[in-house]
C-alpha cells in the first residue's frame, strides 16, 4: 500500500524499489518554461547531481526535458514519450507537467491550444490533452511543476479564452498514479528551485523503496514546504509586530500597506531564499502576490493595492505596535549601555563579596 499521504513511515510502505526510472517532463502546457529554468538554479540537490547518480540511494534517473535535452529535438527527443504512450516504456516513469491544461473541448472544429509532436499518420499536432490522456494512466507518479500546472495560474484567470485549468482539475483531484500516489503539486510562479528538487528527491526515494510517500496537504502540496505562511518566515515581521509600515517600496519596513499578502499565503520563500539562500520576495522588497496559491492571480489583484480585509489586523496592531515600539526603544537604550561598574579608579563596585 503506497496510498498513505500521512508521511508516517509504516511497514506497509516498505517495498521493493526500482533500480531505474524515467522522468518524462512536458512543458507544452500553457507555459513559459520558467519552472524548468528555475529548476536549474537548485543545488540542494542539483538536477545534475540527480541525473549523474551522485545522490546515494536513488534509482538511476533518465531525465527527458525539452529545455535541458542534449538531443537535437524532433523524433529523437520524442521517442521515449511515444514509447511510453504505447505502453512500451522500458522503465517506470514520473510524468512532470509544466504549464496549465487548456480545455480542448471548447474549441469548435479542428483547432488546438497546444501541441507536442505530430500524429505520425495524419501529421496533425498532438495536444497536451492527448498526451495526458495517454501518459497519465500509465505513469508511476504524476508531478505538477509550477502554479500553472498545479492550479491553472496566470492563463486560467478570469476572462481567459482557453478554459485553462490545473492538472488536478483535468485528471481529477482524487487521481491516483499506478504507484498509488496522488498528483504531487509543487506550486510557485515559478517553482522555488529547491522546493521542487526536494519534492522530486522524496518521490525518487519513494521509488527506490526507501521512503514513504511525500506528505501532502489538501491542495496536494508538500506539507513540509507549504505548511507555514510567508509572514511567519518574513524578515520584516518584526516591523509588522511594531506597527511600522512602509508607505513606499524603497523601505525596509513591513509592506502590508503597499500590497503584501504574506500573512495569508502558504510559501516558504522568505525563509529559504530564491537562489543559494539569497532573496525571498518580501525580504528583499518584493510584495508577496500569492503566486503559490490556488486563487492566484485573480484573488490577489490588483497586485499593488493593500490586500482587501488586510487593513483590520494592521489597524489593530498599530496602537499596540506603537506602545511596544516605545517600550522596546527604552529597553533598547538600556541594553545598549554598559553596566556602571566598569570604570577606572581605586574603588571596586562590581558587587564582589570575598
CA atoms within 13 A of residue 156's CA, in its CB half-sphere: 27
> Is there binding between residue 32 and ligand SF4 (CB under 6 A)?
yes
Complex with ligand SF4: residue 4 or 251, whichever CB lies closer? 251
Residue 137: count of CB within 10 angstroms of its CB = 13
- Residue 91: C-alpha distances to residues 198, 208, 343 (Å): 22, 13, 77
Complex with ligand SF4: residue 203 or 288, whichever CB lies closer? 288
Instruction: Name the grid cell of 52.
Output: 549523474
Complex with ligand SF4: residue 107 or 154, whichever CB lies closer? 154
Complex with ligand SF4: residue 39 or 61, whichever CB lies closer? 39
Give the whole-angstrom CA distance, residue 220 versus residue 203. 14
Complex with ligand SF4: residue 212 or 233, whichever CB lies closer? 233
How many residues appear in the chain?
354
Q: Are 203 and 94 in contact (CB under 8 A)?
A: yes
- Residue 103: C-alpha distances to residues 29, 106, 161 (Å): 11, 6, 9
> Is there binding between residue 288 and ligand SF4 (CB under 6 A)?
yes
> Is there binding between residue 153 and ligand SF4 (CB under 6 A)?
yes
Complex with ligand SF4: residue 92 or 146, whichever CB lies closer? 146
Q: Kindly identify the residues of this chain, within the stretch 243-282, that bind ligand SF4 according to CB under 6 A.
A: 254-256, 260, 262-263, 265, 267, 269-270, 281-282
> Is there binding between residue 290 and ligand SF4 (CB under 6 A)?
yes
- Comparing CA positions, the residue from 86, 90, 96 lying closest to residue 66 is 96
Nearest distance, CB of residue 230 and ligand SF4, angstroms = 4
Complex with ligand SF4: residue 207 or 216, whichever CB lies closer? 216
Binding string, 165-194, against ligand SF4, x = CB under 6 A?
Answer: -----------------------xxx----
Q: Kindly identify the residues of this chain, within the stretch 217-246, that bind ligand SF4 according to CB under 6 A.
A: 230-231, 234, 236-237, 240
> Is there binding between residue 321 and ligand SF4 (CB under 6 A)?
no
Residue nearest to ligand SF4 (CB): 262
By CB atoms closer than 10 A (0-12, 13-18, 19+), residue 273 is middle
Question: What does the DSSP 8-state code read for residue 90?
Answer: S
197: Cβ–Cβ under 8 A, 6 or more apart, which residues?
39, 42, 44, 45, 46, 47, 50
> Is there binding between residue 98 and ligand SF4 (CB under 6 A)?
yes
Nearest distance, CB of residue 20 and ligand SF4, angstroms = 28
Complex with ligand SF4: residue 176 or 328, whichever CB lies closer? 328
Binding residue (CB under 6 A) for ligand SF4 from 139, 148, 184, 211: 148
Nearest distance, CB of residue 215 and ligand SF4, angstroms = 20
28: Cβ–Cβ under 8 A, 6 or more apart, which residues?
66, 99, 114, 115, 116, 128, 131
> Is there binding between residue 34 and ligand SF4 (CB under 6 A)?
yes
Give the whole-angstrom CA distance, residue 238 versus residue 245. 11
Binding residue (CB under 6 A) for ligand SF4 from 41, 55, 154, 157: 154
Give the whole-angstrom CA distance, residue 135 versus residue 138. 5
Give the whole-angstrom CA distance, residue 61 versus residue 68. 14
- Residue 280: C-alpha distances to residues 195, 245, 268, 305, 339 (Å): 13, 19, 9, 20, 39
Element (H, E) at 37: helix 34-39
Complex with ligand SF4: residue 143 or 256, whichever CB lies closer? 256
Residue with cell 510557485: 188
Question: Which stretch, 143-151, 193-201, 215-223, 325-333, contacts ligand SF4 (CB under 6 A)?
Answer: 143-151
For ligand SF4, the binding residues (CB under 6 A) are 31-32, 34-35, 98-99, 146-148, 153-154, 188-190, 230-231, 234, 236-237, 240, 254-256, 260, 262-263, 265, 267, 269-270, 281-282, 288-292
Amino acid at each position: 500500500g503506497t496510498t498513505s499521504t500521512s508521511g508516517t513511515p509504516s511497514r506497509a510502505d516498505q517495498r521493493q524499489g526500482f533500480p531505474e526510472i524515467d522522468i518524462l517532463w512536458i512543458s507544452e502546457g500553457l507555459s513559459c518554461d520558467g519552472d524548468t529554468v528555475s529548476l536549474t538554479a537548485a543545488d540542494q540537490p542539483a538536477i545534475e547531481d540527480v541525473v549523474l547518480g551522485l545522490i546515494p540511494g536513488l534509482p538511476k534517473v533518465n531525465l527527458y526535458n525539452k529545455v535541458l535535452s542534449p538531443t537535437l529535438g524532433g523524433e529523437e527527443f520524442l521517442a521515449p514519450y511515444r514509447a511510453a504512450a504505447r505502453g512500451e516504456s522500458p522503465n517506470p516513469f514520473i510524468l512532470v507537467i509544466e504549464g496549465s491544461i487548456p480545455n480542448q473541448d471548447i474549441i469548435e472544429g479542428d483547432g488546438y491550444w497546444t501541441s507536442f509532436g505530430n500524429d505520425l499518420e495524419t501529421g496533425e499536432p498532438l495536444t497536451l490533452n492527448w498526451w495526458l490522456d495517454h501518459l497519465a494512466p500509465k505513469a508511476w507518479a504524476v508531478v505538477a511543476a509550477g502554479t500553472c500546472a498545479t492550479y491553472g495560474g496566470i492563463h486560467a484567470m478570469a476572462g481567459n479564452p482557453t478554459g485553462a485549468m490545473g492538472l488536478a482539475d483535468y485528471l481529477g483531484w482524487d487521481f491516483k498514479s499506478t504507484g498509488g500516489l496522488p498528483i504531487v503539486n509543487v506550486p510557485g510562479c515559478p517553482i522555488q528551485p529547491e522546493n521542487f528538487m526536494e519534492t522530486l528527491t522524496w518521490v525518487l526515494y519513494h521509488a527506490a523503496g526507501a521512503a514513504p510517500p511525500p506528505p501532502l496537504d489538501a491542495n496536494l502540496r508538500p506539507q513540509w514546504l507549504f505548511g507555514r505562511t510567508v509572514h511567519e518566515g518574513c524578515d520584516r515581521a518584526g516591523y509588522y509586530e511594531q506597527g511600522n509600515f512602509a508607505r513606499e517600496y524603497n523601505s525596509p519596513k513591513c509592506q502590508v500597506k503597499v500590497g503584501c499578502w504574506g500573512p495569508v499565503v502558504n510559501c516558504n520563500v522568505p525563509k529559504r531564499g530564491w537562489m543559494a539562500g539569497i532573496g525571498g520576495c518580501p525580504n528583499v522588497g518584493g510584495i508577496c502576490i500569492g503566486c503559490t496559491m490556488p486563487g492566484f492571480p485573480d484573488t490577489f489583484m490588483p497586485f499593488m493595492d493593500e490586500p482587501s480585509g488586510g487593513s483590520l489586523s494592521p489597524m489593530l496592531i498599530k496602537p499596540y505596535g506603537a506602545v511596544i515600539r516605545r517600550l522596546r526603544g527604552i529597553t533598547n537604550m538600556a541594553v545598549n549601555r554598559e553596566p556602571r561598574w566598569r570604570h577606572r579608579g581605586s574603588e571596586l563596585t562590581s558587587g564582589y563579596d570575598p
